[in-house]
């Protein structure tokens, strides 16, 4: 396969020099999969320091929602930077107020909402948890196996997509009980509807035997699970959670850090099922690359926080608010619809890939939040982790930036501005990379033969 955009061995000489410098001074804790050293980017394309060009279908972990350095976002940041860089949350500025007003208009929560500002998803989750405890006076929470909500000690108590994230940090925040996230492809419960089975497990087992419902402050859930495998819940599950919370006076918190801001073809993933949370957390794609997080809650909840109950020095930073306002305008008027349209095209093309490769167990997702789970064979559904890891690395060498999730799922989360032509190029690179990996694992195997 010709790779005209890859001009050097990977990593190239400049990248190798920077990697050597990095190894001496930067924490080794970052889970880096392959040696991509970025120089610059534009739209859905990125270049490394050696001049090699890549198609970016990771978007900084779903952060660069409007693509790399979108002119409107860059201009908004420049304009804000010329006025002032920081004022702190002890004071007011119009950009923060405008962004809160904008969220009041866009939120999936019917009725007025108020917002709290942070810099990241984990900070947003921490704030949401504190808000729920403060307002309800309750101390317990429910989370879901496979969930990812951050790495600070409160959010880490919920994070369970990989045990390595908690390894070495026990004890985390007490009071969190995990429930299986419904997965019809890999069912844990009896019955065809895993969503309803999970709801019954909460109501008829946990609440009856070990977790007093009256002590639960909130249930924290990703409307579409991210790091756990890009799992789309069965229809009725989120509505069932809403009803369960209403019965017991429990707050429902939707973590839309990865799924929000147009990623799934709607502004928020919850809107696919028309279910309202009480509290919602945002970050990642909200600022198109600038660090910003938000907690959005019903006004009746948020206004119960008293002065000094929570704060954040950099929350509501003027540059980040300007980037978020520009991002929301672009997503609302262009890119959410594009994510729905191109995402549908992408899914059809991926199903065609699955028809050729038995190693592909399932294609799932909404909009441009798509997962392709790899298995040793479709009967056993044993995760093909080795193949998945090799494919991610091989795709990089062929000029395609990807990341994995779950045990063996390739996730596609490109900028929301991608075109069908971008998808076609990505799928050509993906198919070629998969052929190379399968040939390497099983030299005698021909294309289309499952491997594990």
Report the run of H or E that residue 216 belongs to, with start and end: strand 216-221
pLDDT tens, position by position, 342-366: 999 999 999 999 999 999 999 999 9
β-sheet with 38-42: strand ranges across:
38-42, 45-48, 53-56, 400-401
Distance CA 428, CA 57 (A): 13
If pLDDT is split at 50, 70 and 90, which confidence band does 7 have? very high
The predicted structure's pLDDT at residue 322: 98
Cα 232–Cα 385–Cα 64 angle in degrees, nearest 5:
55
Three-state DSSP at 18 gives helix
238: phi > 0 → left, psi -120 to 50 → alpha, else beta; which?
alpha
Residues 374 and 271 sit within 8 Å (Cβ to Cβ): no
pTM, two decimal places: 0.95
Question: 100-119 burial string, b = 16+ CB within 10 Å, else e?
Answer: bebbbebbbbeeebbbbbbb
Rounded to the nearest 10 degrees, the angle between the axes of helix 420-441 and helix 385-398 is 120
Residue 256 in contact with residue 268, Cβ under 8 Å?
A: yes
Q: Do the Cβ atoms of 288 and 66 come closer than 8 Å?
A: yes
- pLDDT of 35-85, one tens digit each? 999 999 999 999 999 999 999 999 999 999 999 999 999 999 999 999 999
On whether the CB atoms of residues 108 and 268 are closer than 8 A, the answer is: yes
Q: How far apart are CA 209 and CA 206, in angstroms?
A: 5
Do the Cβ atoms of 387 and 442 come closer than 8 Å? no
Please answer whether residues 299 and 113 qualify as being in contact, where contact means their C-beta atoms are separated by less than 8 angstroms: yes
Place of tokens 């394309």: 45
Q: Rounded CA gap, 274 and 134, in Å?
A: 27
Per-residue confidence (pLDDT) for residue 164, from 0 to 100? 82
Work out the average pLDDT over 1-20: 90
Among positive and negative, which fits the CA dihedral 396, 398, 401, 404?
A: negative
- Name the least confident of 29-33, 234-238, 341-345: 29-33
Say if residue 17's pLDDT is above 50.
Answer: yes
pLDDT of residue 165: 87
Residue 252, both tokens: 């429902």
User: Is residue 443 over pLDDT 80?
Assistant: no
| 241/234 Cα distance (integer angstroms) | 12
Tokens of 325: 């306002």
Q: Which two tokens stand for residue 158?
A: 């919920």
């Amino acid at each position: 396969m010709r790779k005209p955009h890859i001009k050097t061995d990977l990593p190239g000489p400049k990248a190798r020099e920077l990697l050597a410098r990095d190894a001496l001074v930067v924490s080794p804790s970052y889970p880096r999969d392959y040696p991509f050293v970025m120089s610059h980017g534009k739209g859905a394309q990125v270049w490394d320091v050696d001049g090699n060009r890549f198609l970016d279908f990771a978007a900084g972990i779903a952060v660069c929602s409007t693509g790399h350095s979108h002119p409107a976002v860059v201009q908004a940041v420049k304009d804000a930077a010329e006025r002032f860089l920081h004022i702190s949350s002890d004071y007011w500025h119009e950009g923060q107020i405008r962004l809160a007003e904008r969220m009041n208009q866009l939120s999936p929560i019917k009725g007025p909402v108020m917002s709290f500002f942070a810099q990241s998803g984990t900070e947003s989750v921490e704030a949401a948890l504190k808000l729920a405890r403060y307002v309800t006076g309750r101390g317990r929470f429910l989370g879901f196996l496979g969930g990812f909500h951050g790495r600070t000690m409160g959010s880490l108590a919920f994070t369970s997509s990989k045990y390595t994230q908690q390894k070495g940090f026990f004890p985390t925040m007490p009071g969190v009980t995990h429930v299986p996230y419904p997965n019809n492809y890999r069912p844990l419960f009896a019955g065809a509807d895993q969503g309803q089975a999970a709801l019954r497990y909460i109501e008829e087992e946990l609440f009856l035997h070990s977790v007093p419902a009256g002590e639960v402050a909130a249930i924290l859930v990703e409307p579409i699970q991210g790091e756990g495998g890009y799992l789309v819940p069965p229809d009725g599950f989120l509505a069932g959670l809403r009803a369960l919370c209403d019965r017991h006076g429990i707050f429902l918190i939707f973590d839309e850090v990865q799924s929000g801001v147009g990623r799934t073809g709607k502004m928020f993933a919850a809107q696919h099922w028309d279910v309202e949370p009480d509290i919602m957390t945002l970050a990642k794609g909200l600022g198109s690359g600038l660090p910003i997080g938000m907690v959005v809650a019903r006004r009746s909840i948020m206004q119960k926080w008293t002065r000094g109950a929570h704060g954040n020095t950099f929350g509501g930073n003027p540059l980040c608010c300007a980037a978020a306002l520009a991002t929301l305008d672009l997503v609302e008027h262009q890119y959410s619809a594009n994510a729905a349209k191109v995402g549908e095209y992408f899914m059809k093309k991926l199903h065609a890939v699955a028809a050729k490769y038995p190693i592909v167990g399932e294609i799932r997702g909404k909009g441009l939040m798509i997962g392709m789970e790899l298995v040793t064979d479709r009967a056993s559904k044993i995760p093909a982790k080795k193949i998945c890891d090799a494919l991610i690395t091989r795709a990089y060498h062929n000029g395609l930036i990807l990341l994995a999730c779950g045990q063996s799922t390739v996730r596609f989360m490109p900028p929301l501005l991608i075109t069908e032509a971008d998808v076609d190029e990505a799928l050509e690179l993906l198919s070629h990379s998969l052929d190379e990996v399968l040939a390497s694992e099983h030299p005698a195997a021909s294309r289309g033969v499952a491997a594990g």
